[in-house]
């Protein structure tokens, strides 16, 4: 066990050494790479083979999630038809730690002859065949992998992955790409729940089931039935303020005590002080409040505390959870 811990710490040490050395790689070549990507006319196409291919896949996925048009292209598949991904004006980002991978160099050579493209090499050897074919070379400054045999890619893939993230970070300005933009590309899962606002899923205007305090209960039931059969209606006072709510449960409980709704009005049946949520809150917050309050809907208010919508549990579950 001591030997296992020793090997693990040795690997960690080499990973850290690679990342510390990376600071020196963020010079003119890195800046040229960023300018090439920013000024491109087409897409970002990332390529790599073996472990470097997995790093390339992750980079393309990160770029796409941040609003950039990017694709991963496997170099071998590209030689058999996938060059259809590439067009004039694209920037190719090629990962190869040795810079000598025949698959990478062959496809880069072909693409340069066929298309008007720019090439960015991310490699451990900026004097390699890949670097020679590229417009700029970002060095992966790793001399020891940290593998007990110094054979399996470890420190080099970690450092390459960090370079990919640094490029994505440098390309993405918070002035032009904010949380709302990010949410557009992450509608599902926990990110979607955190980033999508209640205002984006609420029903508004005539789709909000509303009655007044003086509305006869027969009309209230019709309103609850007509609004997509949600079984709920908000109650407004004479000033248009939300003062109550009537649900199917409220109606049943009233009938158990009073046996009839004849001659009754909304104010007689409603529950006062209905639960609300600000329109700027996340749908995750809405779900948590519904769970806490044991309700299936929340009325939505604006910063002036005015009623602007209603959000339903079923809508959130259907569109963002299930």
Give residue 135's pLDDT: 97
Dihedral pair phi/psi, residue 71, rounded to 5°? -140, 150
Please name every residue paired with 310 in a beta bridge, in sequence order, or none if there are none: 203, 299
pLDDT at residue number 228: 61
Beta-carbon contacts of residue 58 (< 8 Å; ≥ 6 apart)? 161, 164
Enumerate domains of the chain plus CATH numbers: 2-177 (3.40.50.10490), 195-321 (3.10.580.10)
Give the whole-angstrom CA distance, residue 118 versus residue 94. 11
CA atoms within 13 A on the CB side of 319: 18
The predicted model scores a pTM of 0.64
How crowded is residue 174: how many other Cβ atoms within 10 Å of its Cβ?
8
What is the distance between the alpha carbons of residues 37 and 120, in angstroms, rounded to a whole number? Answer: 9
pLDDT for 78 equals 87
Q: How far is CA 315 from CA 4, 202, 209, 288, in A?
A: 51, 9, 15, 15
For residue 321, what pLDDT is reported? 61
* Residue 181: Cβ within 10 Å count: 14
| Per-residue pLDDT, 193 | 64
Q: Residue-wise pLDDT tens for the chain (322 aa)?
A: 668 888 889 889 989 998 999 887 788 999 999 999 999 999 999 999 999 999 999 999 999 888 888 999 999 998 887 888 899 999 999 999 999 999 999 999 999 999 999 999 999 999 999 999 999 999 999 988 888 776 788 899 999 999 999 999 999 866 655 555 555 554 555 555 667 888 888 999 888 999 999 999 989 998 887 656 578 999 999 888 999 999 988 999 999 988 888 889 999 999 998 999 999 888 888 889 988 988 889 999 988 888 999 998 888 877 766 5
Q: How far is CA 250 from the centre of its chain?
A: 40
User: How much is the pLDDT for 174?
Assistant: 64
- Listed residue (35, 61, 13, 319) closest to 170, CA to CA: 35
Residue 279 and residue 308 in contact, taking contact as beta carbons nearer than 8 Å: yes
């Amino acid at each position: 066990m001591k030997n296992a811990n020793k090997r693990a710490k040795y690997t960690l040490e080499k990973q850290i050494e690679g990342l510390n050395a990376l600071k020196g790689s963020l010079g003119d070549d890195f800046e040229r790479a960023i300018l090439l990507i920013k000024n491109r006319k087409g897409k970002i196409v990332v390529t790599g083979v073996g472990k470097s291919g997995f790093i390339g896949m992750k980079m393309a996925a990160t770029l796409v999630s941040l609003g950039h048009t990017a694709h991963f292209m496997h170099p071998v598949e590209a030689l058999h038809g996938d060059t259809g991904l590439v067009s004039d004006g694209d920037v190719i980002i090629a990962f190869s730690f040795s810079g000598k991978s025949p698959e990478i160099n062959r496809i880069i050579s072909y693409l340069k002859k066929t298309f008007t493209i720019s090439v960015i090499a991310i490699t451990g050897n900026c004097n390699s065949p890949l670097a020679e074919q590229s417009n700029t070379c970002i060095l992966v400054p790793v001399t020891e992998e940290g593998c007990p045999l110094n054979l399996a890619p470890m420190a080099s893939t970690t450092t390459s992955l960090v370079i990919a993230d640094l490029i994505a970070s440098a390309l993405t300005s918070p002035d032009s790409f904010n949380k709302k933009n990010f949410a557009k590309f992450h509608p599902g899962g926990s990110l979607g729940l955190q980033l999508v606002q209640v205002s984006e899923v609420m029903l508004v205007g005539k789709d909000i089931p509303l009655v007044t305090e003086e509305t006869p209960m027969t009309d209230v039931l019709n309103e609850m039935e007509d609004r997509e059969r949600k079984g709920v209606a908000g109650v407004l006072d004479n000033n248009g303020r939300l003062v109550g709510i009537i649900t199917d449960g409220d109606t049943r409980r009233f009938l158990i005590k009073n046996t009839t709704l004849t001659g009754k009005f909304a104010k007689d049946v409603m529950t006062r002080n209905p639960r609300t949520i600000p329109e700027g809150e996340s749908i995750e917050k809405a779900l948590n409040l519904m769970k806490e309050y044991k309700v299936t809907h929340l009325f939505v208010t604006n910063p002036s505390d005015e009623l602007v919508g209603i959000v339903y549990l079923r809508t959130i579950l259907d569109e963002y959870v299930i």
